[in-house]
């Protein structure tokens, strides 16, 4: 059981032009989403610039990175960008950090930076968190070393589990986090990302078993009940969803946000 209220994020990184991006930001705000989250890949919009543009046309919507690959920037550079965005958004920026996805090494190579070993990237992540001041920090974590770091330093822990992970697998990760976090566990906000949500998963997801936690199926009431159960059983209160499902998931946001 957790005392954290439900909040919801939309993850988006593509737009054909500025008008489409700002319309998406306004739409997310109008539908009650708490955050618009931007990934950090060379195939998507630059996260800091995209966050600034979204915040400029909204008033309550928070913006954030989901998640920044620490290999691509020095801790000081991240702190500089973060301070700037916190100032320009009126405190509506949230920094999401990760040690690097499996395909992030390719991006680092194209950027001309050294990706580093897992241990080096873990150390870079810790240094980056320490360099940043006065901003909520989310850490995406799955392995034990990342979970330990997130347990010690993050405000929000986003479970880095694949869409096909089962409830039992998610519960096992959270049990591990509980042991690692100790007294901090109940202060941590726990998050999960949904690849899709709605009556039927989109065709681009392929075939996923009905037990997959990364796809939420059913009516709005059925999906809301599943998320209530996950919060009561697992403690997960921060749910992000692929922005392609922004409207399909909006009735769930309306039912649960802030409760």
DSSP string, 225-241: HHHHHHHHHH-EEEEEE
For residue 195, what are the domain limits? 7-256
Whether the model clears a pTM of 0.85, i.e. scores above it, the answer is yes
- State the pLDDT at residue 168: 94
Please tell me the distance from the alpha carbon of residue 122 to that of residue 226, in angstroms, as a whole number.
34
- State the pLDDT at residue 205: 59
Q: Is residue 239 part of a domain?
A: yes
What is the domain count for the chain?
A: 1
Q: Is residue 2 part of a domain?
A: no
Closest alpha carbon to 241 in 186, 202, 188, 185: 202
Counting as low any pLDDT under 70, the low residues of the chain are 1, 201-210
Q: Is residue 13 part of a domain?
A: yes
Q: Is residue 219 part of a domain?
A: yes
Q: Tell me the CATH number at 137.
A: 3.20.20.30
- State the pLDDT at residue 2: 80
Cα of first residue to Cα of last residue in the chain, in angstroms, is 14
């Amino acid at each position: 059981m957790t005392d954290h209220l439900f909040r919801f994020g939309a993850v988006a990184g593509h737009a054909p032009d500025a008008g489409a991006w700002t319309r998406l930001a306004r739409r997310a705000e109008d539908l009650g989403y708490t955050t618009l989250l931007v990934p950090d890949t060379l195939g998507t919009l630059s996260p800091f610039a995209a966050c600034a543009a979204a915040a400029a046309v909204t008033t309550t919507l928070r913006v954030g990175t989901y998640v920044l690959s620490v290999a691509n920037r020095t801790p000081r550079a991240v702190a500089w960008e973060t301070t700037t965005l916190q100032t320009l958004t009126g405190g509506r920026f949230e920094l999401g950090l990760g040690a690097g996805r499996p395909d992030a090494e390719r991006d680092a190579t194209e950027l001309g930076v050294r990706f580093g070993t897992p241990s080096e990237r873990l150390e870079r992540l810790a240094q980056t968190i320490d360099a940043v001041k006065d901003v909520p920090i989310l850490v995406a974590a799955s392995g034990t070393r990342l979970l330990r770091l997130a347990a010690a330093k993050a405000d929000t822990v986003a479970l880095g589990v694949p869409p096909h992970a089962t409830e039992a697998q998610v519960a096992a990760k959270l049990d591990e986090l509980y042991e690692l976090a100790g007294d901090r566990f109940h202060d941590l906000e726990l998050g999960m990302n949904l690849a899709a949500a709605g009556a039927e998963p989109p065709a681009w997801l392929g075939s996923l078993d009905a037990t997959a936690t990364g796809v939420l199926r059913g009516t709005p009431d059925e999906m809301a009940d599943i998320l209530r159960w996950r919060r009561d059983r697992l403690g997960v209160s921060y749910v992000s969803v692929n922005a392609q499902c922004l409207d399909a998931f909006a009735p769930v946001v309306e039912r649960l946000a802030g409760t």
